[in-house]
Amino acid sequence: MLEVVDTIEALRGRVADHRRSTGSIGFVPTMGALHAGHASLIERARRKSGIVVVSIFVNPLQFDRADDLERYPRPLDADVELCRRLGVALVFAPSVAEMYPVKPEFLVQVGRLANHLCGKHRPGHFEGVATVVLKLFEIVRPDEAYFGEKDAQQLAVVRRMVTDFNVPVRIVGVPTVREPDGLAMSSRNVRLNAAERPLATSLYTALRKVAADVQAGATSAPAITGQEATLIPADERLRLEDLELVDPDDFQPVETVTDPVIAAGALWVGNTRLIDNVRCTPRARS
C-alpha cells in the first residue's frame, strides 16, 4: 500500500522498515507533474527492486528564473494517484522548508560537464540539480536510482557525481518516451498552446536528421548542425537556443565525428523551453 510522507525522519524510518522486509530500494527522483516518461522510470524500477520510492519536490535551487519556478506545475494529488496505480511503496513529498531549513552554505560544484548546453544557458542549474540529488541519495539511501535519457546532460552529471563522491548507488538511464508525433514527454509540454504544439516537434526533426547525417558518414560537426538547424521553421514563436554534437561522457562539443556522439538541442517555443537529444552512431569503417 502506498504511503506518502513529507519529512526526512519519517521517510528514513519507512525505508529502513522496507529494507528489512523486502531488500533492495529503487528510487525515482522527480519534480512531479508526472507523465508517461516518469511512469517508464517507475515501471523499470519495479522490475528490479524490492520497493520503489518516488520523490516529488520542485527544487528551487535548480531554477535560474523566478517565473519558471512559479509556473512549474504541481498536481500532487494526481501524481500520488499515478504512483498508487504503478505500485509505488513510498512517495516522499517534502516542503522546501523540510529540504532546506536554512539557506545552504555548501553546494555541489559541477565542472566542465556544465560548460555547454543547459549549463551554459541556465547558470547554477546543475549545481542545484547535483545538490538536491545528493541530498536525496543521503536521505533515501537507494540501491538504484532511475533517470530519463531525455535529460542526458543531467544524467551525465549525476553519474559523474556518484563516481567522484563514491556514492553507493547504481544510476540507471531509461530511454526517452515520446508522443506519437515524436515530441519528448516533458512536464513543460502542458504549457504549449494549440498553435505552439505542432511547432514543438521541429527540434526532434532536426536532431533525427543530424543523426542520419552522422550515420551516412558526415564528420564535420559544425557543418552538420549548421545545415540541420535550418529545419527549424522561420517562425517568430520559435528560437533555437542550441544544436550541438557532444561527447556522451563529458558533454564537450566535438568538431569531428569519429565515435558515437549525442546530438542535443534546446528550442524555445513561445515562452516554453524544450530540450531533447538523440544518440548518433557513425557509419562503420570498412
Which residues belong to the active site? 38
User: Which residues have a Cβ under 8 Å from the Cβ of 198 and sit 6 or more positions away?
Assistant: none
Whole-number Å distance between alpha carbons of 286 and 251: 28
**Three cell numbers at 202?**
521541429
Q: Which amino acid makes up residue 196?
A: E
CA atoms within 13 A on the CB side of 203: 27
User: Which residues have a Cβ under 8 Å from the Cβ of 24 and sit 6 or more positions away?
Assistant: 48, 49, 50, 51, 143, 144
Concatenating the DSSP letter of every residue in 83-121 gives HHHTT-SEEE---HHHH-SS--S--PPP-GGGSSTHHHH
Tell me if residue 154 falls in helix, strand or coil.
helix
Give the closest residue to 156 by CA, choosing from 107, 209, 111: 111
At residue 32's C-alpha, the angle toward residues 179 and 118, to 5°, is 70
Whole-number Å distance between alpha carbons of 12 and 138: 10
Chain centroid to CA 236: 27
Give the closest residue to 42 by CA, choosing from 27, 64, 61: 27
**Helix H segments across the chain?**
8-22, 36-48, 66-71, 76-85, 96-99, 118-121, 125-140, 152-164, 202-216, 221-228
